[in-house]
C-alpha cells in the first residue's frame, strides 16, 4: 500500500484518496476475490471527495489508464469501506469526485423568471405584426 500514485493521472473530474494498492500473487486465482479498502472522513476531506461518488479504480496496463470497477459501499466495526470483486490482481485506488458543480450556483428554478422573457418577446412580435397588418390595410383603403 502506498500514498503515491504509481501510474497516470486519475480520470477527469476525479480525485484519488491517499491510498494505492498493488496486489499480486504467484498463485493462480480461482474464482473471485474481494478487495476491500477502508477510508476515513479525513481521507474524503483531504481529497475533496463526496462519499457517494467513491469507487475503486483498476490500472489497465493495456490501455494505460484507470478504469472504474463495480463498487459496493459498506461499513462495519472497523469503519467505512468500498469493495469490489476481482478476478485478477493489479494496482487499485479508491477515487471519487467532489459532487459539487464547478463554479456557479445551483438552486431552485423560478419558472416565471425563465418564461417571462419568452412571453415578452412573443407579445412584442405579435404587436409588431398587428401594427404591420393594420398599416397595410390602411394603405389599401
Q: How far is CA 64 from CA 10, 20, 115, in A?
A: 11, 16, 48
Report pTM.
0.64
- Residue 6 has what pLDDT? 65
Q: How far is CA 67 from CA 55, 103, 107, 129, in A?
A: 10, 27, 33, 58
- Residue 82 has what pLDDT? 96
Residues 66 and 75: their CA atoms lie apart, in Å, by 25
- Residue 44 has what pLDDT? 93
Per-residue pLDDT of the chain (141 residues; tens, 9 = 90+): 545 566 778 888 899 998 888 877 777 767 888 999 999 999 999 989 999 999 999 998 888 889 999 999 999 999 999 999 988 888 999 999 986 655 555 556 677 777 777 777 888 888 877 888 787 777 766
C-alpha cell at 125: 412580435
Amino acid at each position: 500500500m502506498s500514498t503515491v500514485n504509481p501510474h497516470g493521472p486519475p480520470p477527469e473530474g476525479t480525485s484519488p484518496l491517499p491510498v494505492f494498492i498493488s496486489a499480486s500473487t504467484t498463485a493462480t486465482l480461482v474464482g473471485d476475490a474481494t478487495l476491500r479498502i477502508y477510508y476515513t472522513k479525513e481521507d474524503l476531506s483531504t481529497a475533496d471527495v463526496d462519499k457517494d461518488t467513491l469507487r475503486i479504480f483498476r490500472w489497465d496496463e493495456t490501455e494505460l489508464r484507470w478504469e472504474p470497477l463495480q463498487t459496493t459501499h459498506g461499513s462495519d466495526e472497523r469503519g467505512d469501506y468500498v469493495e469490489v470483486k476481482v478476478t485478477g490482481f493489479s494496482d487499485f485506488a479508491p477515487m471519487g469526485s467532489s459532487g459539487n458543480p464547478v463554479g456557479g450556483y445551483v438552486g431552485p428554478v423560478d419558472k416565471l423568471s425563465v418564461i417571462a422573457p419568452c412571453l415578452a418577446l412573443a407579445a412584442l412580435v405579435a404587436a409588431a405584426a398587428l401594427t404591420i397588418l393594420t398599416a397595410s390595410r390602411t394603405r389599401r383603403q
